[in-house]
Every structure is written in C-alpha cells, then in structure tokens.
Amino acid sequence: MKPVKVIKIGGKVIDDEQKLDTFLHAFVSVKEPKVLVHGGGSIASRMGVRLGIKPNMIDGRRITDAETLEVITMVYGGLVNKKIVAKLQALDTNAIGLSGADLNIIPAKKRNPEPINFGWVGDIESVNTKWLTQFLNENAIPVLAPLTHDGNGNMLNTNADTIASSVASALSSDFKTELMLCFEQDGVMNKGQVVTEMNLLLYRYLKDSGAITDGMIPKLDLGFSALKSGVKNVSIRSFGAVAETSSGTKLTR
C-alpha cells in the first residue's frame, strides 16, 4: 500500500506567522502524499470578540450558537484555510482547501442536545475517501478545515484532532497511514522530559498520577483510537518536526 501522512496543526501555530512558515516549509519537504488538517480556535475566538459575540459557555465548555457557527465558518473555512492554501501554492505545492461539506467529504450529525446542548457541533458519521484518494493520487494536497455538515444545509463545528484521526482511520483501508498531531511542544511531557513512547498502560498510569491532564487527554484518546482503527503510526510532536522520521511521542498499543 502507498503511504500517506495526515498532519494536524492547531490555531496557536497558525496564529504566529513565523511558526506557520516554519511548519509549512517542513510540511512541503515531507515526500509522501499528505493531508493537512488545521484548527484555528484562537483566531476564531479573537474574531468573535471583535464582532462583539459573547462566548456562550456551559460548564466551562464553549457552545457553538448560530453566531459562533458563522464566525468559525468564516475563519476556519475562509481566512485560515485560504491563507494556508495560498502559502502552499507559493511553495509550489498544489493544495486544495476543503471543509467536510465540500464533495460531502465529512457528513456529520448534530450532537444530541442532551445532557448538554453544545449547539452546532457535529459528530462525524463517515469520511468519504473517494475524492481525497483522487487528490492524493494526483499530487494535490487536501487542506481540511475543522468543519463538517449535517446534510440539511448546515455547517457544523468539529474538533480538528477528531477530523485528523477520523480521516487517517478512513484512509487506512487504502493507504499505509501515519497520523501526526502537532503542537508547540516537543511531545507529551512528563517531569520536563518528552515521553518518547507511550502505550495504553503507561497512558493510564500517567493519567491516574495526574502527569497528563486537560488538552492532552482527548488528543491521546484520539491517537490510540486511530491506532486501533488501522493507522500504522501515530505520534504527537512539534510542528517543526513533521519531516523527521521519528520525533516526539510515538504511540504504541
């Protein structure tokens, strides 16, 4: 099977022009066919503030109300996605920006409003790989915004790590797939050191001991679930290290 790398970067990297350029240069030097999945939450939050949209929070979690959905559709699907695509074109890399609505690549279901109504949030139903495969086979790089759609004419907000994990899993039927969840740190940290290999047993231990918390837990859960769904390699690494064979925290079963 041909290889493919699914590489995810978050809003904090995109938000910093220098970090974004560092990442994109490393990204285009990856020789294998590749898919880029981006976030953009910090940029959307700032745009929401500028538009006077009050963050709507329940139990400390953000709710995607109708106004917020408009902002993230603009920011993720327009501002961030097209900026990345234009910059990749300037690096002689033929990119195509996509949301989950485009070519019906990621149909989703609006999350059940019980017990908490998160609003216009989409839980992925499936990933249609037909066009993704066609793009990859013809050297066009899919650049995916963290947006899905409900099939009834509405866009939905879907976490970028979740999209990356689902896309990598879906592509695993036809490709030897690698998933890289990239961020600003060198990997999963414990006592100031990168944990170079993490399996489920070590993950549970570090979680129970409180060494792994918050944002890292859903990332690791998604990474392990991708491994289980047939993704060959999963790592959590620095945005600058995407072209390296081995870097950051490698997940094993």
- Residues of the shown chain interacting with a second copy in the complex, contacts defined by CB under 8 A: 47, 50-52, 70, 73-79, 81-83, 85-87, 89-90, 94-99, 101-104, 131, 140, 147, 149-155
Closest to a second copy by CB, 79 vs 243, is 79
Closest to a second copy by CB, 98 vs 226, is 98
Closest to a second copy by CB, 29 vs 104, is 104
CB of 249 to a second copy, least distance (A): 32
CB of 148 to a second copy, least distance (A): 10
Which secondary-structure segment (H or E) carries 221?
A: helix 216-228
> What is the distance of C-alpha 48 from the center of its chain?
21
CB of 116 to a second copy, least distance (A): 24
Closest to a second copy by CB, 53 vs 243, is 53
Of the candidates 72, 3, 78, 9, the residue with the CA atom closest to the CA atom of residue 33: 3
Residue 31, phi then psi, degrees to nearest 5: -80, -30
Residue 27 and residue 5: Cα distance in Å, rounded? Answer: 10
Buried-state track 105-117, b at ≥16 Cβ within 10 A, e below 16: bbbbebbeeeeee
Contact 155, 101 (CB under 8 A): yes
CB of 128 to a second copy, least distance (A): 10
Cβ-proximal residues to 152 (8 Å cutoff; 6+ apart), any chain: none
CB of 51 to a second copy, least distance (A): 6
Hey, what are 246's tokens? Answer: 């081995």
Cβ-proximal residues to 56 (8 Å cutoff; 6+ apart), any chain: 62, 63, 65, 68, 119
CB of 87 to a second copy, least distance (A): 4
